[in-house]
Amino acid sequence: MSTARTRARVATALAGLLVAALSATPATASPAADPTARHQPTPPHVVGTQTVPAYSYADAIRESVWVQTRADSDGDGVRDRVAVDLVRPREAAAAGVRVPVIMDASPYYLCCGRGNESELKTYDSAGVIAKAPLFYDNYFVPRGYAFAAVDLAGTARSTGCEDVGGPAEVDSATAVVDWLNGRARAYDADGRPVSAAWSTGRVGMIGKSWDGSVANGAAATGVPGLATIVPISAISSWYDYMRYNGVLRTTDYPGYLHSYVNGRGDDACADVLARLRADSAEETGDRNGFWAQRDYRPSAGRVRASVFMAHGLNDLNVTTNQFARWWQELAEQGVPRKLWLYQAGHEDPFDVRRGAWVSALHRWFDYWLQGLRNGVMDEPRVDLETAPGTWTTQRDWPAPGARNVRVALGAGDGVTGTLGGRGARPGREQAYVDESLTEAELVAEPGAATAGRLVFLSGTLTAPLRISGSPSVRLRIRVDRPTTELTARLVDYGTAERIRYDSSEGVRTLDTESCWGASTDVDDACYRDTEEITGVSDHAVLTRGWLDAAHHRSLRFRTPLRPDRWYTVTVPLNAYDAVLPAGHVLGLVLGQSDPEFTEADDRDATVRVDLGRSELVLPVAGRTGLPTVTVAPPVVTEPAQPSSARTAPRTRQVP
């Protein structure tokens, strides 16, 4: 027998052993059920405890299939089919080596683009995927992964209708996971059935913003085979995205988002659009069944996947309570998890800390999808950017040892109140009238008398103050209208170099490029480099909170306020993490209607606050005391926060 023929037979036998070994690996197994474990052949893309480029990206199999979901969201009597564009290693398929899947399910692939450079999908003359946005396929396919780019129902090449965070949207993703595990059907462009026998069944979902929100929703179903998710700047409750505790963020938000990504004809989804507008209770701001259906947090107990979150601490689009509340729910359920927090706004960590992010993502997927014991779960759980370009790690979030400290409000000099110390006696009142101030007007010159706000300042800090968690303001109020919007802001008064997230989310795109993976003539792995935008300012708004006062008892219904009664209300602020240096001053600023961030019809109210029965609840790690005011309040002359042109809700941000 010739040497060539002998080698061929050995290769065939090896491929058969690989098929048998990998077929026996259960789709929902833990990393211990490792396809590279002892007594099993090691595939060529695994060296030690990591995957390495072993397969040709240029020769990868590229195919487009349509997965049948359980939903009929457009009501045409036919189940929706979602388009799935796949890139997977050809050599692995030829050898019978099954591979796990990294999946990004998105509504943006043809309408709007993904990533910092707004990349779109492109197709060859046969309608097969030629270019998939982002670096995931370029980097991971040569390392023994498949990549799946999924068009959500009603978008791009999928049928059905986009229901904005609802069941049809989530079903778009879970149906693909089912197909990759042999539990659902898929078809090619000619209607022929297509199987995913090449898949190990282990799936990792990733995506920024809306894409990451779908990953959260899919994980909350407990779909078997979804081994991990990486939600970046993602939504965990759509009510909290579009309503700030009963206050509208902007009008017709669900309808706007549906229309923004709709890939169907005008008539195909008219009924769905009408239901979105009717069921979202815009006239009241109530949290009803429509919103409960789009809240993934109560289903944290069903999550089987590990979770690697990333979020900008200054994200004004998808605010930080989205990650913080989801993180807490998952922690209570013991879900394996990891977190990156950074100073930028609505950004992907690929454009904040690129090399470290790619490395972290690689190790995370190797562990959870390939089963490689690389120690990633033995490392600190949290990576945190504490100042521009300065990173640290800690074992959890909020910072270990953080606790809620009740901070009293004092009357001060009658113009500027105080934070800390004994505070005012019960019954000491201050009033303010709704003036619809901009954020810059609210927080500037805290020592000046400005109608429409109340300001409270600590003394000059004698030691650094670490805030880590979700603050809130508990107010005892009397209002001369049935309701009003109540707003609160924590402000760091003191000169420092800070991320200018009012400018392109705090990140600047450079002229240079770096490459992350292999390329083809039509799909390169090179992306323009980025850097953080910083500037010296004399103050910064740390976090914000809003409440419709008539929703103080429940978000499910309104309780109009009577002008002859006092009410105790709590204004939750978005989660934050910061260290205020010694020499700075912490400020609390109260306002009412907030035209840059929200849209409220109830204006012109006068609010009386009983200072002695009101307080700031501050999550503090380490030293807890706030010195009382002993020096003149700081003078702020330069607004450091986004202008109304940046944050006006009428621009209708998209997740």
Longest dimension (CA), the chain: 101
For residues 38 and 453, what is the distance between their CA atoms, to the nearest angstrom?
A: 67
| Contact in structure between 652 and 256 (CB atoms under 8 Å) | yes
For residues 475 and 299, what is the distance between their CA atoms, to the nearest angstrom?
A: 32
Q: Coil, strand or helix: which one is 443?
A: helix
* Single-letter code of the amino acid located at 312: G
Total Cβ atoms within 10 A of residue 464:
13
Residue in 303, 259, 284, 255 with CA at minimum distance from that of residue 28: 303
Residue 626 per-residue DSSP state: -
Phi-psi region of 319 (alpha: psi -120 to 50; beta: other; left: phi over 0): beta
For residues 571 and 566, what is the distance between their CA atoms, to the nearest angstrom?
A: 16
For residues 321 and 336, what is the distance between their CA atoms, to the nearest angstrom?
A: 20
User: In this structure, which long-range contacts are made by residues 391-397, counting pairs with CB atoms below 8 Å and at least 24 apart in sequence?
Assistant: 391/353, 391/356, 396/331, 397/327, 397/339, 397/341, 397/468, 397/577
| Contact in structure between 236 and 325 (CB atoms under 8 Å) | yes
Alpha-carbon distance values, 111 to 123, 259, 599, 635 (Å):
15, 11, 27, 46
For residues 378 and 385, what is the distance between their CA atoms, to the nearest angstrom?
A: 20
Alpha-carbon distance values, 503 to 250, 481, 499, 635 (Å):
22, 38, 9, 24
Q: At what angle do helices 253-261 and 270-279 cross, to 10 degrees?
A: 160
**Bond from prior residue into 398 cis (ω within 30 degrees of 0):** yes
The CA-CA-CA angle for residues 183, 72, 217, to 5°, reads 65
Q: Report the catalytic residues.
A: 209, 315, 346
| Sheet of strand 81-88, all strands in order from the earlier edge strand to the far edge | 186-187, 61-68, 81-88, 146-151, 99-106, 199-208, 226-232, 306-312, 337-342, 382-387, 390-394
Residue in 296, 313, 317, 295 with CA at minimum distance from that of residue 305: 296
For residues 250 and 175, what is the distance between their CA atoms, to the nearest angstrom?
A: 32
Q: What are phi and psi of 369, to 5 degrees?
A: -105, -35
For residues 322 and 341, what is the distance between their CA atoms, to the nearest angstrom?
A: 13
Alpha-carbon distance values, 542 to 126, 320, 533, 534, 585 (Å):
51, 11, 17, 16, 12
